Amino acid sequence: MPKLRRYREVIFTGILDFMVVLAGWIIYHSYAEVIWEYQIFTVEPNILLNGILYSAFWIILFVLIGVYKKLYLVSRLDEFVRIAKASFVGMLILFFISGNDQQNTWEVQRQAVFLYGFTVFVLMAVNRFIVRSIQKYFAQKGKGLHRAIIVGAGRSAKTAYEDLKRNKILGMQVLGYVSINGQDPDPDVGIEKGKILGSIDEIEQIIRDWQVQDVMVALEPEHREKLVNIIAKTDSPEVSLKLLPDFHQVVSGLSKTNQIFGMPLIEVSPEPMQLWELVAKRFFDVVISFTVLALTFPFLLIIGLLIRLTSDGTAIYEQTRVGRNEKPFTMYKFRTMFDNAEKDSGPKWATKNDPRITPMGRWLRRLRIDELPQFVNVLKGDMSLVGPRPERPHFVDQFSAEVPLYSRRHRVRPGITGWAQVKWKYDASMDDVREKTKYDLFYIENASMSMDAKILINTIMTVVKGRGQ
């Protein structure tokens, strides 16, 4: 139900956009017949069928470019710019598609592409302007607002509540406050006791019970140390987390803030990559993994045979790891330890000169060859080439309890290699885990195709220099 609520606006907007773009196709053809003797972009005799195909093209393009990202009460100017960019890209693509049309001159094709693209742009811009205007009108009337809570019960929280209540255009209906220590609010602040929904320790249950969509954190300076714990407890794709910065954070520029109708807020965004980047990332994952497996297949067979000949046990070691959204999956590796190496000790970290590692396994680890079977995991979609390394459930439970924000690593697909792997050593202590988590969180907040390329290049250099452990 929460997921349906989350995507309801996107689905509704997408259907409406499809109908508008389809209407644009029909309008375009109505005046195209007057301008030219024959039609442009017609691959089938049925004009309506063509319209459906081209409308689907526009919707897919809009999705990839990010036209459906953050739809709720988005600025009409920002949305206008998005649609203009998408329309320009669409016109370029259609121009190249129509370039093979031998029955039309280049000039006619250029005019046709421009007129059709311009028609789509105008209708989409008008449609979104009307929809956002209606949405803002109802928001001002207090209808269709997001269910929100404020973390904090001090003067900052009270001020935020009054701003949201007075300016409904901000789009949040505040249900109440979450106190820091579970105590009654200070009478001097002016917050009613009945408005306190619970304490920070209960915030996860409060979000579920009240079906909260937005969480605004408005802490007093003396409670800033609680921020990491709050972010960890509200780390969910179903909830939008916003931080109210203090005066010094705003004027110093130490935190990047967004102005939401004049109210400065820091939005915690777990997925900076645009959808087209995610699609491109997955495309390269599949292509590179398939190529590597195809080119190294004979070599993999030889490695597997050598492992079987030099020690007891299977060549491929299967192990349960925790993946995206904390979903367990089976990860494949070449076996580098003696068979049943953890039978007596249970799960434990690998160490330098680990006696459990076979002579063959030590060589495989140094050159990272033991990771090659994980390209199968990438093809299956369990993993990516680049991302935080997946851990075993035993360690995930342990680290989640001791390392703040550790669970945020599971917001993306785990990877064969990652930012932490090229910047930090193997885990040998809980301090190492904390340091690697910082690198993983940095990657998640700053992920891009260029950063992935940088990590892959660093990993190749590590393999060439034999720095694996």
Which CATH number fits the domain that encloses residue 224? 3.40.50.720
User: What mean pLDDT is predicted for residues 45-56?
Assistant: 82
Q: Which of 48-57, 154-163, 251-260, 408-417 is predicted with the least confidence, judged by mean pLDDT? A: 251-260
Last residue of a domain, one of 140, 158, 191: 140
* 240 and 327 together in one domain: no
Report pLDDT for 261.
Answer: 46
- 403-458 pLDDT per residue, tens: 878 888 888 999 999 988 887 766 567 777 888 888 888 888 888 888 899 999 88
pLDDT at 263 over 90: no
Pairing of strands 196-199, 172-179: parallel
Last residue of a domain, one of 268, 300, 326: 268
* 178 and 318 together in one domain: no
List 429's β-bridge partners, or say none.
none
* 290 and 435 together in one domain: yes
* 450 and 317 together in one domain: yes
d(CA 354, CA 468): 13
Q: 316 by DSSP, 3-state: which?
A: strand
d(CA 220, CA 242): 15
* 317 and 409 together in one domain: yes
d(CA 224, CA 440): 23
How distant, in Å, are the alpha carbons of 1, 300, 372 from that of 5?
6, 47, 41
Instruction: Tell me the two tokens of residue 34.
Output: 């007057």
**pLDDT classification of 95: cutoffs 50, 70, 90:** confident
Q: Which of 76-80, 81-85, 205-209 is predicted with the least confidence, judged by mean pLDDT? A: 76-80
* Domain extent for 299: 275-465
**pLDDT classification of 271: cutoffs 50, 70, 90:** low
* 234 and 128 together in one domain: no
- CB crowding 330-365: b at 16 or more within 10 Å, else e: ebbbbbbbbeebeeeeeeeebeeebeebbebbebbb
Q: Which of 145-154, 223-232, 332-341, 420-429 is predicted with the least confidence, judged by mean pLDDT? A: 420-429
* 63 and 113 together in one domain: yes
pLDDT at 187 over 70: yes
Report pLDDT for 469.
Answer: 53
Give the chain's domain count.
Answer: 3
Q: Is the pTM of this model over 0.85?
A: no
Ramachandran bin of 313, using left for φ above 0, alpha for ψ from -120 to 50, beta for the remaining angles: left
- CB crowding 255-284: b at 16 or more within 10 Å, else e: eebeebeebebbebeeeebebebbeebeeb
Report pLDDT for 344.
Answer: 64
Last residue of a domain, one of 109, 140, 171: 140
Closest CA to 227 of 147, 156, 168: 156
* 210 and 292 together in one domain: no
How distant, in Å, are the alpha carbons of 232, 379, 396, 445, 447 from that of 433?
16, 28, 11, 18, 20
pLDDT at 328 over 90: yes
d(CA 394, CA 400): 10
More confident residue, 8 or 84: 84
CB 330, CB 318: distance < 8 Å:
yes
* 368 and 393 together in one domain: yes
Residue 416 has, within 13 A of its CA and on its CB side, a CA count of 26
Range from 106-110, 234-238, 364-368, 423-427 that averages highest in pLDDT: 364-368
* 288 and 424 together in one domain: yes
pLDDT at 99 over 70: no
pLDDT at 221 over 90: no
CB atoms within 10 A of CB 461: 11
CB 253, CB 245: distance < 8 Å:
no
Average pLDDT, the chain: 81
* 282 and 362 together in one domain: yes
User: What mean pLDDT is predicted for residues 137-144?
Assistant: 81
Closest CA to 120 of 79, 150, 83, 173: 83
* 222 and 290 together in one domain: no
User: What mean pLDDT is predicted for residues 285-292?
Assistant: 95
